[in-house]
Amino acid sequence: MPRIERDARVVWEGSLARGEGALSAASSGAFADLRYSNASRIGAPEGKTSPEELLAAAHGGCFANSLAAELSRLGTPPGRIELSCRIVLDEVEGAGHQIVASQLTLAAEAAGVDADLLNKAVALADEGCPFSSMLKRSGASVEVQATLLPSA
């Protein structure tokens, strides 16, 4: 795979307590001016995103790609993967607030796949997913719960 570079643009105005920011996909233009604030980050989202929500989307998307690749390598390309990802930010004694976990819950449909083969593909996908690796290097746990969807 070639080197990949993507850019985001962030604008923040005001103090942490009363300020607000906007996040934009500078490389692709896929999203622009996603609003976020500290209040919506630690409290009710109120229609705004957060860095943790974007990390959950990034890790989930990367993991789904990695799982699709591993299932395909095993000769059983997926028909569908449904995945949710929860990023957990918590206070760590002596280290402040840290990402402590990424919890992935997925269901995959692939002809000829049984639970053992799915678990093998999930383990390989976790090893090959750059976001899983990054999170683990930072000390966060990556937890994956996988089930099979019925084949169509």
What's the CATH number where 101 sits? 3.30.300.20
Can you tell me the distance from the alpha carbon of 30 to that of 34, in angstroms, rounded to the nearest whole number?
A: 11
pLDDT digits (tens, 9 = 90+) for 75-104: 999 999 999 999 999 999 999 999 999 999
pTM of the predicted model as reported, rounded to 2 decimal places? 0.93
Report residue 138 as tokens. 């930072």
Predicted confidence at residue 152, as pLDDT, reads: 66
Q: 149 vs 79, 110, 122, 126, CA distance in Å?
A: 10, 8, 14, 20
Contact 83, 122 (CB under 8 A): no
Question: Does one domain contain both 14 and 58?
Answer: no
Which domain does 12 fall in, by range?
8-42
Predicted confidence at residue 21, as pLDDT, reads: 96
DSSP H/E element including 13 = strand 8-13
The structural domain count of the chain equals 2
Percentage of the chain lying above the pLDDT 70 cut: 99
Report residue 95 as tokens. 């280290």
Is 3 part of any domain?
no
